[in-house]
Structure 1
């Protein structure tokens, strides 16, 4: 029989700082990233900001509430050269995109592009034995234009030499779902409440955005 899904508890509030490296069109650019995670046990807010001398500033934000099954997003935004937003209309059972894309069905457990990282962290922290190497985790996830299942495969533990020190982390990977989609790699550190200590996005044209953990501010 299938194991019941464990109750998920949010990790303590924290701010994670990263060194940021961007490879694109033959150039390598450097900057910084900051992930702010705030909650009071009921409502949460998550914000990611990227910046650097030669990089356009970009930020993403997610806010919503916390339920026994994890994060329940209400609103997501992605701000770069322009700004796009995703609204989770729970009464109407739909997801509404500011990008004039067709509305999507709001499935149970739906995450956004940012909350999905913390949801994975909470899933692994609740019951690590459920996710051995080769395990697959499917989470319905909404971007700024569409929604669908994001399927992450657990690659296993790796030792990482990061700006903040040597860290053992569990690697998860979501391959591109279709042509012109990104590859997402994520490393969660058991010794840091399964915090994301590295995130790497690879675009179809070979560009890479790599965030590597440097320090953490608690609370």
Structure 2
């Protein structure tokens, strides 16, 4: 965590951050997207559950003609937040990443090269919840310009993702007007996925809008429609 004008190596960024996890919930989203220049509409669901020691998160997007894509993350809850053990990504077939914290490495079912596993590493689903848990614990710390860098693991590889805190907005969502804090991933390379997310204090800083844009222009824009018990 780097404050505006700070350096990533400062003590402020290396201290173990406190977290406050949101309560279990089921979020429903309306989705607008584009895949290979084909516009589509879809529904998505994010189910978040934990018992204080273990957690499970599952996200599924279903669209006519495009099909269904699901992601899941399971692992432990620690004082520093989420510690993933397995991340799975399924469209036509499932690929998974396995987190070996004892050996400090991630292995992949796709037989891609192992990756080093550093402290605080997340997967592509848990990262959104971990970011919210950091903000919920100390909202005043995350002023616009603050940067948060996390190792983020997909089903095939690991990368360093840096998110910048952009500021507060009130979104006009299918669920109604919703105050939220916008964060944006800062791409390091031309082909990196762009990620924008809006986290709502009223929902424990869970995402109420997620917009993912690929380098080729494909995108998916998830906007909150409903929230309820899991």
Contact preservation (8 Å) 2:132, 2:205: yes
Alignment partner, residue 63 of structure 2: 52
Task: Say whether residues 1:168 and 2:187 are aligned partners.
Answer: no
Q: How far does residue 216 in structure 1 lie from its aligned partner after superposition?
A: 0.3
Task: Say whether residues 1:148 and 2:187 are aligned partners.
Answer: no
Provide the rounded CA distance (Å) in 1 between the counterparts of 2:203 and 2:109: 36
Contact preservation (8 Å) 1:6, 1:127: no
Provide the rounded CA distance (Å) in 1 between the counterparts of 2:58 and 2:99: 17
Contact preservation (8 Å) 2:128, 2:206: no
Alignment partner, residue 190 of structure 1: 201
Gaps of 5+ in 2: 1-9
The TM-score with structure 2 as length reference comes to 0.91
Taking the TM superposition and a 5 Å limit, the aligned residue runs for 1:107-126 are 107-126=118-137
Deviations, residues 34-65 of structure 1 (Å, cap 9, x unaligned): 00001111000000000022221000000001
Going from structure 1 to structure 2, the CA distance change for 1:92 and 1:122 (only over 3 Å counts) comes to same
Q: Would you say how many aligned residue pairs link Structure 1 and Structure 2?
A: 219
Task: Say whether residues 1:11 and 2:31 are aligned partners.
Answer: no
Q: How far does residue 114 in structure 1 lie from its aligned partner after superposition?
A: 0.4
Alignment partner, residue 74 of structure 1: 85
The TM-score with structure 1 as length reference comes to 0.95
Going from structure 1 to structure 2, the CA distance change for 1:123 and 1:97 (only over 3 Å counts) comes to same
Pick the aligned partner of 2:41 from 27, 30, 49.
30
Deviations, residues 101-152 of structure 1 (Å, cap 9, x unaligned): 1111111111000000000000000001111111100111111222121100
Provide the rounded CA distance (Å) in 2 between the counterparts of 1:11 and 1:208: 27
Gaps of 5+ in 1: none
Provide the rounded CA distance (Å) in 2 between the counterparts of 1:193 and 1:71: 15
Contact preservation (8 Å) 1:8, 1:123: yes
Task: Say whether residues 1:129 and 2:140 are aligned partners.
Answer: yes
SS at match of 2:202: helix
Task: Say whether residues 1:180 and 2:195 are aligned partners.
Answer: no
Provide the rounded CA distance (Å) in 2 between the counterparts of 1:6 and 1:108: 12
Q: How far does residue 6 in structure 1 lie from its aligned partner after superposition?
A: 4.2
Contact preservation (8 Å) 1:62, 1:76: yes
